């Protein structure tokens, strides 16, 4: 049996959480990540025998038997690199997703993030759109969060503003950004609302809170959020100034042609 700490998926999770904390996106125990794993790959490192069983508080029959690497509740991203077996866990969903078998991790008696329902519901939604989407990432980027206080929360308006801030935005997230009003976190209600938004976009902003991103791997999902956050930063730097220049819809159509992407239907003239 191989050493689990040498598993590529675990190494990348440690790198990602460390990088997210360094970016200031995950203060204290803020933020969480879940990564859908391949059972054959995991079995090279684990005996696949459950250590204990956890209640999930939701139903997700589509994920029955699926295995996830998930950050722990109350855990600080800055500590993951020092004690991954305490701050991370590998779980397998059973009984239509109502329970999860702990296969590794949470060695201090902990469990998965309180946002686990929102993550799993979002996985169901994204896998239905693109079977390659294996990551759900939640964090609190300061500029995107600040933008929800001063910008119209209409999804088309929010998306267009971000697209106009950086040339790469349309290319990186042509499906745009969906937005939820403030909702109580850690509930099935916000999980269901987020999952619904995930059906049409890989980025979902939680107003006055943070953002959810989905992608095929940790690198892509991190880059997706990073790009939107950079655009929000530029917006906040210029929002109070007279707008002299912008990226026009005509120019964005040129980007579509050049990079083989298609902006969300109805969002460009």
71 and 135 share one domain: no
User: Average per-residue pLDDT in the chain?
Assistant: 96
Number of structural domains (the chain) is 2
Same domain, 93 and 188: no
CB-based contacts of 242, cutoff 8 Å, min separation 6? none
pLDDT band at 38 (very low <50, low <70, confident <90, very high): very high
Residues 89-93 have a mean pLDDT of 98
Percent of residues, the chain, with pLDDT higher than 90 = 97
pLDDT for res 156: 98
CA-based nearest residue to 125, from 202, 189, 209, 69: 202
CA dist 171 and 252 (Å) reads 9
pLDDT of residue 193: 96
Question: Annotated catalytic residue: which of 101, 115, 155, 229?
Answer: 115
Mean pLDDT for 133-144 is 98
Domain range enclosing 5? 1-114
143 and 24 within one domain: no
Q: What pLDDT shows up at residue 79?
A: 97
Please check whether residues 110 and 145 belong to one and the same domain: no
Q: Are residues 142 and 222 in the same domain?
A: yes
- pLDDT (0 to 100) of residue 186: 85
Q: Which phi and psi angles does 136 have, rounded to 5°?
A: -125, 130
CATH number (domain holding residue 253): 3.40.225.10
Given 52, 85, 114, the domain boundary residue is 114
Residues 193 and 260 occupy one common structural domain: yes
Average pLDDT for residues 96-102, to the nearest whole number?
Answer: 96
Sign of the four-CA dihedral 260, 169, 165, 160? positive
Pick left, alpha or beta for residue 63 (phi over 0 → left; psi -120 to 50 → alpha; otherwise beta).
Answer: alpha
The yes-or-no verdict on residue 93 having pLDDT over 90 is yes
**CB 33, CB 79: distance < 8 Å:** no
What confidence tens digit (pLDDT) does each residue in 211-238 have?
999 999 999 999 999 999 999 999 999 9
- For residues 109-113, give the mean pLDDT: 95
Per residue in 50-84, pLDDT tens?
999 999 989 999 999 999 999 999 999 999 999 99
Task: Note whether 196 and 252 are same-domain residues.
Answer: yes
User: For residues 32 and 69, what is the distance between their CA atoms, to the nearest angstrom?
Assistant: 11
Residue (of 92, 110, 112) closest to 38 by Cα position: 92
Handedness of CA 212, 119, 86, 109 (dihedral sign): positive
Whether residue 30 is found in the same domain as residue 60 = yes
Taking a C-beta distance cutoff of 8 angstroms, is the pair 121, 60 a contact? Answer: yes
Residue 1 has pLDDT above 90, yes or no: no
Could you tell me if 92 and 129 lie in one domain?
no
Domain ends where: 67, 96, 114?
A: 114
**Residue in the structure block whose two tokens are 């997706």:** 224
Q: Say if residue 94 is in the same domain as residue 139.
A: no
Burial of residue 37 (number of CB atoms within 10 Å: 0-12, 13-18, 19+): buried
Would you say 143 and 123 are in contact if contact means Cβ atoms under 8 Å apart?
no
pLDDT recorded at residue 84: 98
Closest CA to 161 of 83, 239, 241, 56: 239
Q: Is 115 a catalytic residue?
A: yes
Give the angle 152-158-162 at the CA atoms, nearest 5°. Answer: 135
* Across 257-263, average pLDDT: 97
Query: pTM for the full model?
Result: 0.95
Are both 149 and 86 inside the same structural domain?
no
Same domain, 206 and 132: yes
Q: Are 162 and 250 in contact (CB under 8 A)?
A: no
Neighbour-count burial of 114, counting CB atoms closer than 10 A to its CB (0-12 exposed, 13-18 middle, 19+ buried)? middle
Q: Which of residues 70, 90, 114 is at a domain's end? A: 114
């Amino acid at each position: 049996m191989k050493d689990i700490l040498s598993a590529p998926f675990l190494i990348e999770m440690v790198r990602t959480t460390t990088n997210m904390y360094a970016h200031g996106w995950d203060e204290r125990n803020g933020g969480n990540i879940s990564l859908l794993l391949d059972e054959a790959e995991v079995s090279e490192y684990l005996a696949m025998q459950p250590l204990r069983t956890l209640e999930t508080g939701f139903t997700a029959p589509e994920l029955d038997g699926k295995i996830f690497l998930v950050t722990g509740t109350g855990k600080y991203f800055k500590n993951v690199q020092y004690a991954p077996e305490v701050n991370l866990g590998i779980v397998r969903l059973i009984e239509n997703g109502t329970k999860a078998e702990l296969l590794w991790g949470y060695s201090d008696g902990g469990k998965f993030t309180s946002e686990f329902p929102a993550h799993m519901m979002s996985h169901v939604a994204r896998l239905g759109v693109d079977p390659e989407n294996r990551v759900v990432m939640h964090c609190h980027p300061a500029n995107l969060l600040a933008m929800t206080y001063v910008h119209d929360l209409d999804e088309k308006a929010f998306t267009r503003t971000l697209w106009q801030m950086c040339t790469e935005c349309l290319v990186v997230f042509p499906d745009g950004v969906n937005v939820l009003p403030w909702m109580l976190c850690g509930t099935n209600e916000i999980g269901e609302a987020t999952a619904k938004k995930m059906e049409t976009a890989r980025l979902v902003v939680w107003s006055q809170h943070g953002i959810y991103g989905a992608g095929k791997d940790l690198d892509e999902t991190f880059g997706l959020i990073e790009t939107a956050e950079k655009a929000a930063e530029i917006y906040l730097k210029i929002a109070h100034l007279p707008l002299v220049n912008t990226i026009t819809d005509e120019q964005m159509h040129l980007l579509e042609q050049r990079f083989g992407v298609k902006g969300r239907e109805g969002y460009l003239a």
